[in-house]
Structures are given as C-alpha cells and as structure tokens.
Amino acid sequence: MNRSISLIFPFSIMLAALAHAEPVVDLPRTCSLAREAADAGDLMGAIVRAECLISGGEKNDDPMPLARQLARQAQAKGSLAAGFVLYEIFALDPKYSYAPGGKVDMNRYNALAATPVAQRGEQIEALNGLSSAVSAGHERAVTTTLGYLITTIAPGNLDRTIGIATGMQRAKMSIPPALAGDVQLAQYIKKLGVSQTSVSTFKNAYGSALAAAALQIRGINNDAACEVKDIKIVRIDGVEPIANAVYLSLNQPLENSYLVQGSWSESWTFAGCDKTATVKMLFTADGWGGAHYSSSPIKLH
C-alpha cells in the first residue's frame, strides 16, 4: 500500500506584522518593543511578540506556550490576525513536526496520525484560527489556506482549492509560483470528473494508477509499440461516499476539510494505443492530512 502524506505549507514569518511595514533591521530591538507593547495590552504588540517567540527573535527556553497565550489573548480581544498566528504556532511547533532537518520521520508521522481527535485541541484551535482569518480576508491566511487545501485530504477540497484561487485572482492577490501548478492541476482534475482526493494525494497516487492501467493496455509482455507516455487519464467516476468518516470539528469555511478517518474508492479511466483501461483506486485517510492508496485493474476495453 502506498501513502500520500500531508506537508505543512511553508510560509515566511514576517515579524513586522503591521501592514506594509518596512523590513526589520534591528530584530532584537523590534522584539523588545513588541514585548513592551504586549505587556501594556497592545494587540499588535502581542501578535508581533508571539511571532518573535516562535521565530527565535525573542529568546525563550519554551516559547510555544507563551506564544499561544499571547495569540489567544489577542484573539479574545477581537484580533483576527491572532487566529492566523495561532496556526503559525501550530505549524512551527516541534511537537507537531515529523520532518526534523527537512527529512521525513515516518515513525513520528505515524504517531501524530494516530493522535485521537479528543487530543487534538491545539490543532483544531489553529485551523479554526486560520479559518477565521481567511474569512476576514487576511492575505497571508488566504495564501496559507490555499496551501493547506492542496495538501489535505477531504471531499470537496479540490473545489475549495479552485474557489480560493479564483477569489485571490479576483482580489488581485498573487498566487505563489510554488502553488500555481497545483491550482492548475486542481482545475484539470475537476474536468476529469468528481474526485475526493486532494491535489497532493492525486499526484502521489497517479503513478500507481498509471502503472496498473499500462499493464492492462500494454499487456504482460509490455508491447513495445505502445509507450507509457502515450497513456493518459481521461475520466474519473464511480466515486463512493466516505465510509466511517471522521472529520476534525472546524468552522466555516474549513468545515469538513480535514478527514481524519474514512475510506472510499474511485474509478480512474486511462486511454492510449487505441485502448482504454479502468483502474479502481482505494483511498484511506491516514490521520494526518494525507492518505494511503492502492490500485487494482477493473477492465480493459
């Protein structure tokens, strides 16, 4: 069985959180001023101090709990930007990391994926903070949400991906080059039919599906006159409802956007060399935003 894992969307930490602020030159001084402002009850000071803590701009032996406290206090006082900072804190918190030094640790990933929903309070808080921020049009939250939807498995996330990207274009917001190709792929998948995958899971599963289809079309002896590059996916249908679905309890617009448990199958049809082959794809949520998948041939015609 193969696996598609969820990757945290990479975003930059901008310590100058004020809109259109000039680049920070004296980081220690900026973080010192943020601490003074936060202690005086200033909302923006609390937000900037939280970002100083998680980025290392303010030294602290255990920065994440204090950063969360500051962001929560700012959010309780009505700061929508604080919701986005709560998501930043979660994304950068070492206890939720499965790729120390940039290398995926599958044992760590599996441990995170097995976390019971009842113990995911900080994850749910972070995603609801992101949801609130994107609803308010917070630009960094909108871009981050696009990355989140591209990498997270749940029915409707392809539509959400396209919807967010369309809204960004209408608002004259630039789509990061690293995500532009994934947005185009989401639009392409949508044209093939209804799929309950995410863009990332589709990309990871495609090779397995193509191999199964090519085996049918080319035959066991691998007909040399038929090249794999000539075999393309042409249709997705036969999508089943999610069996035993469990979602994180999130607010709109991210409600039901994170499938923790559940499985379903889809039929992917490929064509090439004057033949078509249909492959049954079985997907099972892995618990941390990605999915396990397997492929099996259905028919050749």
Q: Is the pLDDT of residue 7 over 90?
A: no
The closest alpha carbon to 35, from 13, 7, 67, belongs to 67
pLDDT mean across residues, the chain? 90
**DSSP alpha helix (H) spans, the chain:** 27-39, 43-55, 63-76, 81-92, 106-113, 121-135, 139-151, 157-170, 177-192, 199-218
- pTM for the model: 0.88
Long-range contacts of 45-50 (CB under 8 A, 24+ apart): 46/70, 46/71, 46/73, 46/74, 46/79, 46/82, 47/17, 47/71, 47/74, 47/79, 47/81, 47/82, 47/85, 48/15, 48/16, 48/17, 48/18, 50/74, 50/82, 50/85, 50/89
Supply 249's token pair. 């309890």
Q: What's the first-to-final CA gap in the chain, in angstroms? A: 26
Check whether 9 has a pLDDT greater than 50. no
pLDDT in tens, 63-102: 999 999 999 999 999 998 999 999 999 999 999 999 988 8
Q: How confident is the model at residue 26 (pLDDT cuts 50, 70, 90)?
A: confident
Residue 117, classed as helix, strand or coil, is helix
> Is 71 within 8 Å of 38 (Cβ atoms)?
no
User: What backbone torsions phi and psi does residue 153 show, to the nearest 5 degrees?
Assistant: -85, 135
Q: Nearest to residue 298, comparing CAs of 237, 221, 227? A: 237
Q: How far apart are CA 281 and CA 265, in angstroms?
A: 5
